Amino acid sequence: MAKKEQKVEKTVLAAKRGKRYAALRESVKAVTTVVSLEEALKVVKANANAKFDETIEIAMKLGIDAKDTSQIVRGVIGMPNGTGKTVRIAVVADGVKADEARAAGADFVGVEEFIAKVEKGEFDFDRVIATPDKMGAIGKVARALGPRGLMPNPKLGTVTMDVAQAVKDAKAGQVEFRAEKAGIVHSGIGKASFTEKALAENIRTLVDAVNKAKPTGTKGVYIKGVSISSTMGVAVKVDVKTLEAA
């Protein structure tokens, strides 16, 4: 790219970010190195000043070969303080199990209706739970669900006969985590309105789960870097050593 084009691109990017982002950048200039989890949370919360309750997010860079199927890092964990997010649940079941799912608070329940919804490109749900006998039916739309991380998986507790409990767990603040192609685990762990203590507990719970999901073939440093940010804020790097449970 020519220097002139690079300059124009930077100018456009700065304009899109606006004065608020520039102010945030200025406010965290002093944080030039990694800091403790508690210090990072203070900075991030102080700068989460949008007109809505921003989500606090964590990004963890793992020392894995994300292309190696034997080094997949994935799991589900319940946040001790919830996530502050309303999770929309679709349950693929019929008969008694469908009734149980509705009673537990599922937002959508059905089999053929679910297939039709996905085929239309309607993904107004955050998690899909299914009974084992309906996985064959779900296979029809697996290619649409998979890339979005919505395919039910028994290892994540989303393929189960106890659909009622699965719905309750999801609504209570379960978080699914998965290392992306670049070996990064990205997840929301609460809201800016949460106390620093509550956010720290949630983060350490997630980090512990990611540590326990470490592939046996991984060599060298496992968690190589961590940063925390809010939805509209800038990222602050965290000292990995301070992420261990107190």
Domain boundaries, the chain: 32-83+175-243, 89-172
Q: Which residues pair with 35 in a beta bridge?
A: 238
DSSP E strands in 107-199: the ranges are: 108-109, 127-130, 174-178, 184-191
Displacement of CA 13 from its chain's centroid (Å): 26
Q: Is the pLDDT of residue 13 over 50?
A: no
Which tokens is 62 given?
């793992």
pLDDT in tens, 124-179: 999 999 999 999 999 999 999 999 989 999 989 999 999 999 999 999 889 999 99
Lowest mean pLDDT among 11-15, 51-55, 125-129, 237-241: 11-15
Is it true that 32-83+175-243 and 89-172 share their CATH fold? no
CATH class of 89-172: alpha beta
Q: Please tell me the predicted confidence (pLDDT) of residue 23.
A: 56
Please report which helix (H) or strand (E) contains residue 135, including its range: helix 135-138
Residue 218 is predicted with a pLDDT of: 87
Query: Residue 47 and residue 22: Cα distance in Å, rounded?
Result: 12
Q: Which residue has the tokens 């800091």?
A: 35
Q: Please state the pTM of the whole predicted model.
A: 0.79
Give residue 204's identity as a one-letter amino acid code.
Answer: R
pLDDT bin (cut points 50, 70, 90) of residue 16 is low
- Taking residues 222-242, what's their average pLDDT? 94
Phi first, then psi: give them for residue 208, nearest 5 degrees.
-60, -40
pLDDT in tens, 43-87: 999 999 889 999 999 999 999 998 888 999 999 999 999 999 899
CATH of 32-83+175-243, one of 3.30.190.20, 3.40.50.300, 1.20.1260.120, 3.40.190.10: 3.30.190.20
What six digits make up the tokens of 92?
A: 């693929």
For the chain, what percent of residues have pLDDT higher than 70?
Answer: 86
Other C-beta atoms closer than 10 Å to the C-beta of 223 total 16
